[in-house]
Amino acid sequence: MNEEKYKFKFIDLFAGIGGIRIPFDELGGECVFSSEWDKFAQQTYEANFGEVPSGDIVEVDKESIPDHDILLAGFPCQAFSIIGKGLGFADTRGTMFFEIEKVLEVKRPKAILLENVKQLRSHDKGRTLEVILNKLERLGYKVSYKVLNALDFGIPQKRERIIIVGFLDHDIKFEFPSGSNEKKITLTDILKRDSDVDEKYWASEEIIKKRMEKVAGREIPVPSIWHENKSGNISMNEFSCALRAGASYNYLLVNGVRRATPKELLALQGFPEDFKIVVSDTQIRKQTGNSVAIPVIRAVAKEMVKCLYDIEYRNKMMDKREFVEQMSLL
């Protein structure tokens, strides 16, 4: 099957800057609706996709959303993350899942893809995820989930996220990809030489000195991205730890001396080189931290589209058999 020839429609909820959308566009999908409440993310989305997403999904009439085959949603994760307070459904951001549920009740798409932090799996001793899965199953979806790591999909970022996939057709045999066949991208491919980076991205002499003192005597890989955790411990790896929207400005330092540029941050998530930047550095840091590792979504998207193609092909064959049977009775 050539999934690129299969035409389908999808919607992009909690769209951010379109990281989940990109692979589905690549596979021939048509985005018929998008929603994102953050005005700066809307600006980036418009610059790259030519449309301004609708605002807060809470205020959108679900009946007005166009019919579609796939619902995509990287719904807010702060309510479930270890970085946040972990309040889950007690946090208003956690209730955003119920907006997804409302759309599914009305529009009944053939398939869904949801993305969130891996802590959703263990939040409230697994009860939060159980609520989500049960609600999806009651709506008729056969669901499965898996935590996938961007490192396994050719991107130099340790980013583990839970992906939930569901189909209305319960005969579907969907399998999560374990990795990607795409060319592996390294920090060498992504990072500029320090000497070519604007001085505004360099950390202060005091911060650099403190970091160097903490790693004295250790072998330092080059290039590398240094991560200082809350305890003050520093890791130096040939990959980045997970990008975070609300982290301190200096929690990640390239080679221990400078911050990543906006282009480098986007590349660490797998965004294309020509992705347009129309907002401030501060906003790009937030937007990339809230986005997804595109190669992970691309690998899952390919498997989903194959499944949808198989459904359509099977249904066409059934229609053909029924037609032949009817003709034989004449």
For residues 269 and 295, what is the distance between their CA atoms, to the nearest angstrom? 8
Q: How far is Cα 290 from Cα 205, in angstroms, rounded to an integer? A: 29
CATH superfamily of 187-289: DNA Methylase, subunit A, domain 2 (3.90.120.10)
Domain boundaries, given as residue ranges, for the chain: 3-181+293-321, 187-289
Contact by Cβ (8 Å): 31, 69: no
pLDDT in tens, the chain (330 residues): 554 568 899 999 999 999 999 999 999 999 999 999 999 999 999 999 999 999 999 999 999 999 999 999 998 755 544 444 544 444 434 578 989 999 999 999 999 999 999 988 887 788 889 889 999 999 999 999 999 999 999 999 999 999 999 999 878 889 999 998 888 999 999 999 999 999 999 999 999 999 999 999 999 999 999 999 888 899 999 999 999 988 888 899 999 999 999 999 999 999 999 999 999 999 999 999 999 999 999 999 999 999 999 888 777 765 545 544 544 554
d(CA 83, CA 244): 9
- C-alpha–C-alpha distance, residues 56 and 20, integer Å: 18
Same fold, 3-181+293-321 and 187-289: no
Which fold would CATH assign to domain 3-181+293-321?
Rossmann fold (3.40.50)
Residues 123, 94 contacting (CB under 8 angstroms): no
Candidate list 31, 77, 241, 307, residue with the active-site label: 77
Instruction: Return the closest-CA partner of residue 260 out of 156, 180, 178, 184.
Output: 156
- Give the Cβ contact number of residue 309 at 10 Å: 16
Clarify whether 31 is annotated catalytic.
no
What pairs with residue 309 in β-bridges? Answer: none
Q: What pTM was computed for the model?
A: 0.89
Residue with tokens 């969907």: 174
Distance CA 96, CA 5 (A): 33
